[in-house]
Amino acid sequence: MDTPIYEVLQNGTLRLTNPNRLDYCNDPYWGVDGKSTLEDQRYNLEQHLNADGISKVDYALHRCVGNSLLEIGCAPGSLLRVARERGFNAIGIEPNEEYVDRIEKYSGCNVICGEFPGTTNIAMNFDSIVALDVLEHVKDPEAFVAAALKLLNPGGRLVLMVPALLEDGLSRGQDKHFEHLHLFSERHLREWLKPIEISRWELGHETIVVEKQ
C-alpha cells in the first residue's frame, strides 16, 4: 500500500495507521530515493528564508533562552553551529551514526549518537531544548516530551517545530507522508503542552514553545 492512511483522534490530531518501517539509526535517510543531502538540509535551515526574511534556525533560536542548549535530531548541524557562534554551550543527539562525525565537524559541537528518549549518557540539564521536524516522526510523542522536560532547567524552554493543523485551516497535502506518524491539531497541542507560543515559520513548519515551570 503506497498511500498513507490517517485516523482522526478525538482531539483532532491525525495518527498514521499504516506506517512503513523506518530505522533512523541505520537507514541512510538522506541522499537516497530523491531525498535531500546534508548540504541541501543546511541550505534549507540556514539560507532559505520565510516571507519575513527569517531562516528556520534563526526563528527557533530566537525562542531559546539561557546559555545551554540541546538539539534532538541535530542533523545536519546547522542549528548547533549557529547556537555555538551565538554563545550557547550546545550539544546534539543524532540517531544516525553515519552523520555524527560530519555534524560535529560542521557545527563544532559534541554530538551523542542515539535515539531519544533512551540515550542515557546525558549528565546535565539545559536552558533550551530544540527539536526541529522531529516530533511528528516519533512513535510515542508523550514520552518524548516528558523526557525532554525532565532535562530542562526551571524556566527553560522546549522549542518544537512540526507540521500541525492549526485553527486557520491551512495545511499542505505533502505533510501526509509515511514518515509523519502524527499531524497534531492545535487543540491537542494546547491541551497537552500548555504552550506559551504557537506560531508559524512557514506553512508546515509550525512552532510550539513550552516553558518549564
Going along the chain from its start, the domains and CATH numbers come out as: 22-171+184-211 (3.40.50.150)
Q: pLDDT tens digit string along 114-152?
A: 999 987 678 899 999 999 999 999 999 999 999 999 999
Instruction: Supply the pTM of this predicted model.
Output: 0.92
Task: Give the integer Cα–Cα distance in Å for 150 and 86.
Answer: 25
**Which set of grid coordinates corresponds to residue 3?**
498511500
What DSSP character marks residue 9?
P
> From the CB of residue 77, how many other CB atoms can be counted at a distance below 10 Å?
27
Q: pLDDT tens digit string along 38-94?
A: 888 898 899 999 999 999 999 999 999 999 999 999 999 999 999 999 999 999 999
State the amino acid at position 121 in one-letter form: N
Q: Is the peptide bond before 95 cis (omega within 30 degrees of 0)?
A: no
